[in-house]
């Protein structure tokens, strides 16, 4: 739980402080007033990075540094961003300074923002990111593995662009490394997908009061039991094609989370209401899995999505909110407040 926060030179905030409730906090203001910036500061404080921009873009325009100070229920925590002499970021938690936020020190947090409403109809990258972001918070070492895989993939793709002769002479070592890292990623994703699939059906039925059968499957074109060997062979077989294309055509960066309603692809057959109910169910499962894994109550951030849900789905969501410290951004507090039996804390912003 975050008790208060002070923002200095962060985004649109020059020097501003806020106090928070342990329950529901409604951040209200007109468009472009800084609501999402405040929400973003909580995410940076909790997980170490923004979901929208790179670190140095978090600084107030024209400033060389930014700082977030907060008091949590366990310890004070500070995030410092410096643009000069070299860009860097540090974390100070209970007096200890870190150059990278350790997973054990990260605060579990779930973000629900408008782009997530395109989770089913959007590109596979959205669904891969959904799995990877949750794995980063629940599986030790996954964040480092994810970064390492991206670097290895970039190196291989760079080599492919140099032509077939150069690739044939130098690609084997990259193929081995990519295959080893890929195997760990796909098995972690497949295991998480199974956990989600085991729980999604009952939750979806409870939220929708419907009879549709929802299933989730990790879409991978190679067998998981000997994935590394199979991928290595395919990378070698596809080398000429990959050189022509200029990118690696197979691996976890090409996989998908396949969602079906009654054995039909959800994005092709589900109604708008069914899609939003399913996304809501996935976000609730994200909260529950985080809490089970970390043995710590997550923080929930809702960025301008409450108004995107109809009355039934708002009521379904609010029935879960009392368990979590929640931050909701909105341009109309009345739309949100009426769904809570307890008094929510209103935080006005108008920058």
Sheet arrangement for strand 256-261: 214-219, 256-261, 264-265
Q: Is the pLDDT of residue 351 over 70?
A: no
pLDDT in tens, 157-181: 999 999 999 999 999 999 999 999 9
pLDDT in tens, 240-278: 999 999 999 999 999 999 999 988 998 888 888 888 889
Q: Is the pLDDT of residue 203 over 70?
A: yes
pLDDT for residue 243: 97
pLDDT for residue 106: 92
Domains of the chain are 1-107+296-351 (3.40.50.300), 121-295 (1.20.1050.90)
pLDDT in tens, 132-165: 999 999 999 999 999 999 999 999 999 999 999 9
pTM score: 0.89
Mean of pLDDT values over 75-79: 94
Q: Is the pLDDT of residue 9 over 90?
A: yes
Phi, psi values for residue 305, rounded to 5°: -110, -15
pLDDT for residue 60: 94
Phi, psi values for residue 308, rounded to 5°: -80, -10
Mean of pLDDT values over 20-36: 91
β-pairing, 96-98 with 88-93? Answer: antiparallel
Phi, psi values for residue 299, rounded to 5°: -95, 140
Q: Is the pLDDT of residue 346 over 80?
A: yes
Query: How many CB atoms are closer than 10 A to CB 200?
Result: 20
Percent of the chain whose pLDDT exceeds 90: 72
Q: Is the pLDDT of residue 98 over 70?
A: yes
Q: Is the pLDDT of residue 84 over 90?
A: no
Instruction: Please tell me which of 207-221, 244-258, 333-347 the model is most confident about, judged by mean pLDDT.
Output: 244-258
Mean per-residue pLDDT over the chain, rounded:
92
pLDDT for residue 208: 85
Do the Cβ atoms of 154 and 247 come closer than 8 Å?
Answer: no
Do the Cβ atoms of 143 and 129 come closer than 8 Å?
Answer: no
Do the Cβ atoms of 304 and 117 come closer than 8 Å?
Answer: no
Give the pLDDT band of residue 341 (cuts 50, 70, 90). low
Interatomic CA distance for residues 218 and 24, integer angstroms = 34
Do the Cβ atoms of 67 and 78 come closer than 8 Å?
Answer: yes
Interatomic CA distance for residues 266 and 94, integer angstroms = 46
Q: Is the pLDDT of residue 306 over 90?
A: no
**Which residue's entry shows tokens 């998981």?**
224
């Amino acid at each position: 739980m975050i008790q208060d926060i002070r923002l200095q030179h962060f985004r649109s905030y020059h020097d501003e402080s806020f106090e928070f409730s342990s329950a529901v906090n409604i951040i209200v203001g007109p468009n472009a007033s800084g609501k999402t910036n405040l929400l973003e500061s909580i995410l940076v404080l909790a997980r170490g990075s923004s979901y929208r921009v790179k670190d140095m873009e978090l600084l107030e325009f024209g400033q060389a540094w930014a700082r977030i100070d907060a008091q949590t229920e366990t310890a004070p925590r500070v995030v410092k961003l410096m643009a000069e002499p070299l860009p860097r970021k540090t974390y100070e938690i209970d007096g200890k300074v870190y150059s990278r936020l350790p997973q054990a020190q990260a605060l579990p947090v779930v973000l629900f923002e408008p782009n997530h409403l395109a989770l089913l109809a959007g590109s596979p990258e959205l669904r891969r990111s959904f799995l990877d972001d949750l794995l980063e918070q629940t599986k030790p070492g996954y964040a480092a593995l994810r970064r390492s895989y991206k670097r290895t993939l970039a190196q291989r793709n760079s080599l492919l662009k140099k032509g077939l002769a150069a690739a044939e002479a130098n690609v084997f070592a990259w193929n081995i490394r990519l295959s080893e890292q890929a195997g760990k990623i796909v098995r972690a994703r497949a295991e998480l997908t199974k956990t989600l699939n085991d729980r999604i059906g009952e939750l979806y039925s409870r939220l929708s009061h419907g009879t549709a059968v929802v299933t989730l499957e990790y879409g991978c074109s190679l067998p998981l039991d000997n994935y590394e060997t199979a991928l290595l062979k395919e990378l070698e077989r596809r080398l000429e094609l990959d050189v022509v294309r200029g990118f690696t055509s197979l691996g976890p960066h090409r996989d998908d989370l396949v969602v079906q309603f009654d054995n039909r692809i959800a994005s092709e057959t589900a109604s708008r209401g069914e899609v939003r109910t399913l996304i809501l169910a996935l976000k609730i499962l994200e909260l529950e899995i985080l809490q089970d894994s970390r043995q710590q109550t997550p923080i929930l951030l809702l960025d301008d999505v409450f108004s995107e849900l109809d009355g039934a789905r708002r009521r379904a969501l609010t029935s879960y909110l009392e368990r979590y410290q929640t931050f909701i951004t909105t341009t109309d507090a009345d739309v949100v407040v009426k769904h809570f039996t307890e008094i929510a804390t209103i935080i006005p912003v108008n920058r």
